[in-house]
A = this chain, B = another copy of it.
Amino acid sequence: MTNSYRIDCLQYCNWSEEIFRQLREGKVDAIHVTIAYHELFQDMVRNIGRWNRLFTRYSDLIFQGRNGDDVRLAHNTNRTAVFFGFQNPSPIEDDIDLVQIVHTLGVRFMQLSYNNQSLLATGCYEAEDPGITRMGKQIIAEMNRVGLVIDMSHSAQRSTLEAMEISERPIAITHANPAFWHPALRNKSDDVLRALGQSGGMLGFSAYPHHLKDKSACTLESFCEMIARTAELMGPENIGIGTDLCQGHPDSEVEWMRVGRWTKEIDYGEGSKSNAGFPDMPSWFRDNRDFGNIENGLRATGLSEAEVSGVMGGNWLRFYDTNFDPISDAGDK
Chain B residues, CB < 8 A from A117: 117, 119, 130, 133-136
Give min CB distance, A133 to chain B, whole Å. 4
Interface 0/1 of A136-161, CB less than 8 Å to B: 10100010000000000000000000
A57 to B265, CA, bound (A): 44
Q: Is A126 engaged at the interface, CB distance under 8 Å to the other chain?
A: yes
A262 touches B134 (CB 8 A): yes
Q: Contacts A96-B264, A262-B94 hold; do A134 and B142 have CB atoms under 8 A apart?
A: no
Partner pick for A263 among B122, B138, B262, CB 8 A cutoff:
B138
**Pairwise interchain contact A261-B94, C-beta atoms closer than 8 A:** yes
CA distance A133 to B40 in the complex (A): 20
CB of A104 closer than 8 Å to a CB of B: no
**A260 at interface, CB cutoff 8 A:** yes
A22 interface contact, C-beta 8 A: no
Contact B97 A116 (CB under 8 A): no
Question: Given that A119-B119, A128-B130 are known contacts, is A263 also in contact with B96, CB under 8 Å in the complex?
Answer: yes
Given contacts A118-B119, A130-B128, A134-B125, contact A142 B264 (CB under 8 A): yes
Residues of A within 8 A of B (CB): 38, 40, 90, 93-97, 116-119, 122, 125-131, 133-136, 138, 142, 260-265
